[in-house]
Every structure is written in structure tokens, then in C-alpha cells.
Structure 1
Amino acid sequence: MKKIIPIALLAAFILFLNPLSGMGASGEKATDLQKEELNKLTKEEKKEGWKLLFNGVSLKGWKTFNGGKVDGWKVIDGVLNNSGKGSDHGGDIITKKKYDNFELYLEWNISPLSNSGIFIRVQEDIVNTIYKTAPEYQLSDDIGITRKREKYQFTAACYAMYETTGAEINPPGDWNSSQIVVNGPHVEHWLNGEKVVEYELWSRDWKERKAKSKWKDEPHYGMAEKGHVGLQDHGGLTRFRNIKIREL
């Protein structure tokens, strides 16, 4: 009697001989699986109130700061890419919805010598540049940019206001994670799972810093109690994924 080898056992044997069989030489299926896991919420996250700000397909829910239709930004393989060109202003995007108290999470990957930023409580139609109204969580290639900079110009700092403590950034090409907690006047910046900045809006310390900073003649800077979330298209290519928010 001829012995029949079960199909599952035969398939396992073939896979043992060639782990990449059925995947192609570069393991495309694994890559596809990774793409499918991007920009998704778990059941637990949904129960906790998390909402996606980017669905991995389109820029629905976003618009240009002080403008309308988004220009220059692209979605590639489930990842949001800014134009890679940038300017002082003009290409920054913001959520259509405004938020007051929230926790924001996202992952980002910056190209060499580039910089970008994340803005909170953005106000429109009162100034020509996004950073004149909204505190900025700085994103920067801290490894490749070697020119002398102030400490508050490095990644995860509140730009031009508060420097970080214990911030450790992954090199360009690797992904980093950032969280921003905004609850009333209280703001926290997290980088790769560590809290690196904490401050109180409108406190005596904050007012003193603002009076000595580049924002001293910007009356709208940091004053809003509710506003848009913004992403900067400033200098060089930065990519974003898994952008989600939970209102507090």
C-alpha cells in the first residue's frame, strides 16, 4: 500500500528547505503583512477612545494651513510623506478638526539633514505661519546636523522654549515614536517611550521664557485652549505613520 504524505506536512517540508518559497527572493509577503498592520487600531485602543488621524490611504481629515486642498504631500505604501522640499511656510498641514485636551501618538522617519515638527492647538487666519500660533514638538536629524544649535532646537524639544532631558533619537532611516499629552495648560513630550519635556502653558516660567524668545512679539503664540494638530513641511523629507489621537 502506497503511503500518502499529508499535504500540510509536505508544505512544511518544502518551507523548511526554502524559507522564502512563496515569498519571492526579498520576502514580499512579509512586507505586505507589515503594510496591513500599519495605521490600524486594536480593539483595546478603540475601547480607550483612540481615533486614527491617518488611514494609510488618503489625506481625508487634513487640509493645508490657512488654505484648502493639500498639495505636495503623498501617501506611499501606507506612509505619509511630506514634499521633501519644504519652505518657511506654505506646505504645512493641519487636521480639519480642533482638539483641546488630548494624547497624540505617531511614528516618524526623517531623512538625513532634514527637520520637521508637530504642532498643537494651531490657529488659522490670524498669522501667515503656523509656528506663530502653535507650540512645536521639534523633529530633526540630530545626528547628521552638526552646525551649532541651541538645545531647544533638537528633537522632541518645545521649539525655542524648552529643551529635552534624556532624549535618545534613532538615526535617519529608522522609525521613532512620539507622544504629546495636552491637558489644559499641562503639556508633555515623549520620545521613544520616554518623557523628555514637561511644561505648563501660561505659567510664570512659560511667560518669562516667551518674553525672552523669538515669540516675544507674537501675541497669539501658545495662547489657544483649543486648535488643530499640525505637521510641518519645512526642510527635507519626513515620513509619518500610525497617527492617532485620544481626546481626554
Structure 2
Amino acid sequence: MGTVHAGPPSESNSGSAGDGHLFVELFDGKSFDGWQHGGNWRIEQGAFYRASGGGPLTYKRDVVPDDFELRFEWKVSEGCNSGVYYRPGQVEYQVLDNVGSPYGENPRQAAASLFFCMAPSKDATRPVGQWNSARVLCKGTVIQHWLNGQKVLDFDYTDPKWADMVELLTIRGGDLTGRGGELWLQDHGQPVWYRSLSWRVIPGDEILEASDDFEPMPIPPAALAKERQRVEAMLRQKRSQ
């Protein structure tokens, strides 16, 4: 794959620390070069398109860097649930139709959440059928998710005040300390599109600090009750193994 410069600030890269650093293009818009799938993904108008059931689309050319910025664009069909996995195990930038999917009732499962861990601070999605721009930044123990030019998730996973959320992810099978995982796009049963995927290594001298004023969206009581039931079922399954 080629390399591209970050270029001037825009909706998809506004406010990026280190704009002008070199990005590696992960998808040329024309081929599956560097990617592996089960035959269920296609390329449509310069985008990956999940056309039928058959599993995820996985980038095989390299593992995800330890400290990185990932940029991509995504578009969902009505009721769609998908996601971009960037650490080993269940560590996912959620891609969702917040309105049409039942997952949308819980902000910890909403678009741009760190799924089943941390809710975004707001719903910044565009309507179904429109493209959304996304960014994931990870350096050390800090994780940021951006959506349509807005930083909607920003936390240090070692901060004790987020311990309960991190434990939720651990129960699900996610480990935020993991490194060296593959980047993959989820097939969860509905049509979804991805394009403009690129990443860069965040250099050692570039500072990424968690915001003190980050506040995830609150979880409605009914959604919280369902989440607790799901957690109890996961724990019962673990105890039975």
C-alpha cells in the first residue's frame, strides 16, 4: 500500500495532534490487496461492502501498531450493527444505526462507543445512508474515539474512576492492555460500508492526554437492567467452564 500525508485539517482530521505525519493507506479503493475475507465482501464505488454472511474482513499485511491513529469512513444500512476491532479480543469501535438497531438503547453499545465498555459523550452520527468519518487514537493507556470531527470518547483506562467500565469489557473478553492484534471489520449480519482506511504510528514525542472533563452518556435504567442480565449470563457461563 502507498502512503498519504494527513493534509490540512478537515472534518475527518480536525484537531489531530501531529497533522502532517505520514499515514499508511490500508485500502486503495479498488482491490482487497492486504485483506482477507470469506468471499462475502465486495468493493462498491471505492468502498468495502459487506454483501452477505461469511465473516469479517481482516487486514493481514501488518498488525495494529502499539501507539497509533486510525482513520476511516463508515456507512450503515437500516438497523445495522458492525464495528472496527483494533486490539486483541473484544476491543471495538462500534458502528451502528443508533435509531434502528436495538443496541442503540444503551449508549455503551452506540456508535463510536468502546463497545460494552465506554459510552461516547454524545450521539454525533449522521442519518442512515450517509457517510460518517471516524478516528481512533491510542497511545499508552489513553484511548480516543472521534466521530464526524468531534472527540466523543477520551479516557485513560488505568484511571480508577473508569474501573467498573473496564471490568465490563474484561467480562466480555476484552483486554485493553493487549497489543499486536489485527485490524478487522465486523460482519454482524447487515450491509455495511467502509472506505478511506489509513493509519499512522504516533511517535514517542507526541503527547496524548485524557481529558479531565470527559463524561460518557448516562445509561437509561431499562438498558442498564438488560446489561446487568447479560453480564450475569456471561459470568455464569465462565463459572461453568
Give your verdict on TM over 0.5: yes
User: What is the CA deviation profile of residues 203-222 of structure 1, one whole-angstrom value per residue up to 9, with x for unaligned ones?
Assistant: 434443233x263263x633
Spell out the pairing of 1:76-225 with structure 2 (5 A cutoff).
76-85=44-53, 91-96=55-60, 97-98=62-63, 99-122=65-88, 133-145=89-101, 149-211=105-167, 213=168, 215-216=170-171, 218=173, 221-225=175-179
The alignment's TM-score, normalised by the length of structure 1, stands at 0.68
How many residue pairs get matched? 189
Gaps of 5+ in 2: 9-18, 203-241
- Partner SS for 1:216: helix
For 1:103, give the aligned amino acid: E
Aligned match of 1:62: 35
Structure with max Cα Rg:
1
Aligned match of 1:21: none
8 A Cα contact 1:51 1:244, kept in partner:
yes
User: What is the CA deviation profile of residues 57-98 of structure 1, one whole-angstrom value per residue up to 9, with x for unaligned ones?
Assistant: 11111235xxxxx4211112211111344xxxx612222211
Percent identical among aligned pairs is 27
Using a 3 Å threshold, how does the CA distance of structure 1 residues 118 and 148 change in structure 2: closer, same or farther? closer
For 2:171, give the aligned amino acid: K
User: What is the CA deviation profile of residues 182-201 of structure 1, one whole-angstrom value per residue up to 9, with x for unaligned ones?
Assistant: 11111100000000011223
- The Cα RMSD (Å) is 2.6
User: Shift of residue 165 of structure 1?
Assistant: 0.8
The alignment's TM-score, normalised by the length of structure 2, stands at 0.70
8 A Cα contact 1:170 1:176, kept in partner:
yes
C-alpha distance in 2, partners of 1:147/1:44?
A: 35
